[in-house]
Amino acid sequence: MSLLELKNVSKIYGNLHALDHINLKVEKGEWLAIMGPSGSGKSTTMNIIGALDKASEGEVLLDGVDIAKKSARELTNIRRDKIGLIFQQFHLVSYLTAVENVMLAQYYHSVPDEKEAMEALERVGLADRAKHYPSQLSGGEQQRVCVARALINYPEIILADEPTGNLDEANEEIVVELFRKLHEEGTTLVVVTHNPEVAEVAQRTVVLRNGKIDHESINENFTGRIKHITLQ
Amino acid sequence: MKKRQMYMRMVTASLLRRRSRMVIALLAIAIGATILSGLVTIYVDVPRQLSQQFRSYGANMIITSSGEGFTQEDVDKAVSLIPKDQLVGVTPYRYDTVRINDRPVMAAAMSMEEAQKTSPFWSVEGRWPSAEKEIMVGESVAETYNLKEGKRVTCTYAPEADKTDKKKESKQEEEDIVPDNFIDFTVTGILSTGGKEEDYVYMGLKDMENLTGSPTVFDICELSVSAESKQLSSYADSITGKSDMMSARLVKRVTESETKVFSKLQSLVLLVTIIVLALTMISVATTMTAVVAERRMEIGLRKALGASNQSIVAEFMGEGLVLGAVGGAVGAVFGFLFAQAVSVNVFNSSITFMPWLLPLTIIASVIVTGIACLLPIRSATDIDPALVLKGE
Ligand SMILES: Nc1ncnc2c1ncn2[C@@H]1O[C@H](COP(=O)(O)OP(=O)(O)OP(=O)(O)O)[C@@H](O)[C@H]1O
Ligand SMILES: [Mg+2]
């Protein structure tokens, strides 16, 4: 059973089909990139997978459970327990320090644990910036805090929507490197990106166009842990 | 770290790090609490002061004689029926006709000290008599005889006309007994009240005794009692009942207006309190709405991280309630100062600090803030994380 499976998923705004009968499977431990032109439905897909939004039609199976039919309250619990989110605009709480921002995810998930949060910051190389406020951190550093926040609760799947969109090349590399590490540890990753360099390090790339899957490809040069994946 | 610790850290961090916005909300609450606690202080404390003030509008009980007058002893006996702490002033008066420039003038004799207690509103140009051979004259008397502060005036005592006519001999006798039937007074002050008091001259009891040659017998006694009208009339009844030659009655006009003004004042304070509470609520609600709008992204993020609606409510309510408590505490202090200033300026007396008002003000402003926050926070839970997190 796939970790995530989209069956005939559509998202309809008025008469606009932002997603039009999408079928997509993501295996446990897989690293998937989603590409496509602006407006093709990438963020919409992410929001539906991330339980932030509901599909208009179709089934969204996460761990075999259809989350398309869940109530807002149940979706909240799914986000809390199974999803790690990373955004292009970081979205850190401005009045909390780096470590407190990481602890915020723990706070809603279970109990805040400063030691564990510090370890997460260490993993992204920011142990020395733990007491800094977001405004005192560079964009790259902020995104690394977000990565730490996304991984702190060991989510089933980490979803990143344009994680490097606001970063320069050096920082982009650092974040990609972090993804690679996460993948190696067995984390399932779905990364939306415009940037081919970020996409090509993933195992597989799905390209959307006008709300449909245009094509997909397997990255032959992939050097990561899990090799055997199939096109759908 | 415990969940609660993290909660407290978030609430305080949000308040302290986002000061500028919070200061406005805090200000609104503190001002509301200031006015609230100030008004409550005035509400509670001022009636006490006002009753002192209203007593200054003169005596509220008068004892008259049903016979040939009464003595100080009679007065003391009658007054003993009223508890000492409620007794503000007791002034028995003796009236007689004296002559100035051979024309009759009504003279009142009394203890000047007591009279100042029962008639504190009397406005005296100059000063009250404080020694023998000093006299205070009513304004119309002063006009008639062209008297001024510091001038001398001679009062002679003329027994009533009928007595003189019938008993010329006796008058002769009296003059023999009392060689001193005229006194040269010094005018110490001119009294103006706007009433009939201005037709009198006022001297000490001793001078009157010397002038008339007869011991003091009082005609009426004015009392100023610190009591409500019900209690007051029961005192009057018992004084009247106890003695067969004295009857006490209330001076109605003053006591009634006293109660009227009280209840008017209290309903005014109540009205202002309600308005202030409403205004505070509106401004807190407005500020909170702005705060929620400003923090839409943050709320969306928290929800994306899995925050339930209850946690969002708890966090914002926590901030609101801390503001309410701090604003309430600040307001309680300033409210006392405010009430103090009002009291000193308007009522000329200082206010006693009421310790129970501090927790009361804090609780009240916490409740008001809580209610004011309900709607804005409600709207925070409606925020759709997918929408607000989408982009700039
Ligand atoms: N809340 C909404 N209401 C109406 N239309 C929407 C809404 N959200 C998205 N859309 C529309 O759905 C389509 C897909 O949007 P989506 O955000 O998924 O695009 P995207 O692929 O993420 O684009 P970009 O690369 O610019 O982020 C767009 O045409 C967009 O205008
Ligand atoms: Mg997008």
Q: What are phi and psi of B302, to 5 degrees?
A: -60, -40
Instruction: Look at strands A4-13 and B220-225 and give their pairing.
Output: unpaired
Residue B306 contacts by C-beta under 8 Å, 6 or more apart in sequence?
Answer: A76, A77, A79, A80, A81, A105, A108, A109
Least-confidence region, from A92-106, A128-142, B18-32, B170-184:
B170-184
Distance B380 CA to ligand 2 centre (A): 24
pTM > 0.80: yes or no: no
Tell me which residue of B98, B42, B92 sits closest to B70, measured CA to CA: B92
Average pLDDT over residues B340-359: 80
ipTM confidence score = 0.93
Distance A43 CA to ligand 1 centre (A): 7
Distance of CA A141 to the CA centre of its chain: 18
Task: Please say if the pLDDT value at position B164 is more than 50.
Answer: no
Confidence band (pLDDT; 50, 70, 90) for B353? confident
Which residues from B are below 8 Å from A93, CB to CB?
A: 298, 301-302
Give the nearest chain A residue to B311 (CA atoms).
A108
Question: Which residue, chain included where needed, has tokens 């200061």?
Answer: B23
Task: Please say if the pLDDT value at position B178 is more than 50.
Answer: no
The tokens for A31 are: 């690293």
Average pLDDT over residues B159-170: 49
Question: CB–CB of B305 and A85 under 8 A?
Answer: yes
Q: The dihedral of CA B126, B128, B129, B131: what is its sign?
A: negative
Distance CA A209, CA A17 (A): 11
- Substitution target in B2, B3, B298, B301 with the highest count of A β-carbons within 10 Å is B301
Task: Please say if the pLDDT value at position B310 is more than 60.
Answer: yes
Distance of CA B191 to the CA centre of its chain: 25
SS3 content of chain A, % helix, strand, coil (to 5): 35, 25, 40
The tokens for B228 are: 């409500």
Q: How many CB atoms lie within 10 A of CB B32?
A: 30
Please tell me which of the candidates A91, A96, A112 has its beta carbon nearest to residue B3: A112
Average pLDDT over residues B106-132: 89
The tokens for B372 are: 């004011």
Residues 297-336 of chain B whose Cβ lies under 8 A from any Cβ of chain A = 297-298, 300-309, 311
Contact B235, B81 (CB under 8 A): yes
Please tell me which of the candidates A79, A95, A112 has its beta carbon nearest to residue B18: A95
Alpha-carbon separation of residue B256 from B64, B79, B173 (angstroms): 21, 22, 50
Residue A56 contacts by C-beta under 8 Å, 6 or more apart in sequence?
Answer: A10, A11, A12
Distance CA B145, CA B101 (A): 8
DSSP state of A50: T
Question: Which residue, chain included where needed, has tokens 């009857």?
Answer: B247
Looking at residue B58, what is its pLDDT?
A: 67
Q: Which residues line ligand 1 (CB under 6 A)?
A: A 13, 16, 18, 36, 38-44
Task: Please say if the pLDDT value at position B174 is more than 60.
Answer: no
Question: CB–CB of A100 and B9 under 8 A?
Answer: yes
Q: What is the 3-state secondary structure (H, E, C) of A80-140?
A: HHHEEEECCCCCCCCCCCHHHHHHHHHHHHCCCCHHHHHHHHHHCCCHHHCCCCHHHCCHH
Average pLDDT over residues B219-224: 90
Q: Taking the CA of residue B330 as centre, how many other CA atoms within 13 Å lie in the half-sphere pointing to its CB? A: 15
Of the two residues B109 and B24, the one the predictor is more confident about is B109
Q: A28-54+70-218 has which CATH code?
A: 3.40.50.300
Of the two residues B79 and B265, the one the predictor is more confident about is B79
Least-confidence region, from A77-81, B22-26, B318-322:
B22-26
Beta strands in B226-314 (DSSP E): 246-250
Q: How many CB atoms lie within 10 A of CB B363?
A: 13
The residue whose CA is least distant from atom 27 of ligand 1 is A38
Low-confidence residues of chain A: pLDDT under 50:
none
Q: Could you identify the atom of ligand 1 that is nearest to the CA of residue A47?
A: 18
| Domain locations in chain A as residue ranges | 28-54+70-218
| Domain locations in chain B as residue ranges | 3-53+259-389, 59-250
Of the two residues B251 and B136, the one the predictor is more confident about is B136
Give the nearest chain B residue to A111 (CA atoms).
B3
- Substitution target in B17, B305, B309, B381 with the highest count of A β-carbons within 10 Å is B305
Residue A47 contacts by C-beta under 8 Å, 6 or more apart in sequence?
Answer: A53, B386
Distance B303 CA to ligand 2 centre (A): 19
